[in-house]
Chains A and B, each alone.
Chain A
């Protein structure tokens, strides 16, 4: 009897300690999330006091909305930047892990984008990608390309141009994490492989790549989640244009909620976005057994 009383009392103290934090999470995270879940079933418009429950109308509208399918497709293209950034970062980390000249400087240079201001970076890329006299297209023309792509100015290429910026952005962070992972790899293993006559290529893809697979897994999951949610970069560069070609799901939510004030519909889209992220993470979690070696 008395023993339990003491346990209970101490348990109470423990809860008291986490209370301030939990209160914050409850008020600023859980309640709004529940609220938005409720909004899904209404036609609530921000600031408009008249609203009603509409059941599953928002979901029906979502699956009949061309703009939604377009933004889903754009999100898919945007997600390509994650594996691209991973592989590139791995290769860069490999090189920078060896003894090369100016190693410190190069590492710093690759990491620089990650710590610079996103909006400033966006403007630099807009100048670089300027279609008629930007440095990139000037260089392409000099190399003999007759009509270089319009990059951000063309609805066919804009999403891929955004991918380029995103890869460049994520590269430094991924590289640093990979560098740390590569330094964990024991020299004996590599030496043994070399004695057995393994080529650099074999060592890279058969030994190093599997050995850093937990890192790849971590970066892949966090990268996909971050990319699906990311918003600032595109908002700064194209605002979802031209002709909606860079409107990914998160921008679609933003536009619906804060430009059209359709909070009910916007909540529906964001819960769909959440479901996507959740599903992707779950699939990876299950799939990891096949390729992640701890």
Chain B
């Protein structure tokens, strides 16, 4: 345990908290963990709780599925522990679920001198080839990832009519190239899923057919240089959650073969006025800032190369 804690106090594994309007996204590509790394997987297993270990052993006879679950739990635990200034080990975190199944973290240490557990919101998503964990401070967040080349077994427009809003399905039906239509569907799907996950109330409270994303075609597309992305504004017809919450969306390609969407709550600026959370010079909370890393937990982190932003919503603040 001491050795594990020592690993976690290594400075490169500690991160400052996400600031206002900021989302940190940690991406795990299973291909980065090769077959020879069974030793690494054994270490990961030791990070898990007894019930998580049991769940993995029982969930499936398929080793691939077991590894997926192992990596998912590892990613969540190691990601959250990064923000605890070395005070908390990944294995000591506990998780509960709200009545709709949305996970929440319980910190084992409630205070240590001046340190208090951060108010982190997080969400996990995964496909076979990519796992992503999004983290914010205080702002609800949802994330969804899909493989671009995902094979559909049903007719795409039938799926669209069933799952998308009528307006979105109409919009989709106007694409004549099947490949392009499929890509547009996937993008819309990740946006809708990210929103529902951010709301955290399950599908029945936010039926997919009852909200609509539109892409604003009247804005030109422009290619920009490094570090600046210009995107097509997207907007969401009024939210289904009956609250005054405002949400911001980012649609991106974390890699050439994936689409992902991130949805996060836009918090009033008063949320961050107190104490040490206010970063100097940070004035515009409505400017969504996303940072992405490619990680092999406990081994290395690096910038995620090659991510492409596709669309961003204007903040819905009135």
Partners in one complex: no
**Contacts from B to A (Cβ < 8 Å):** none
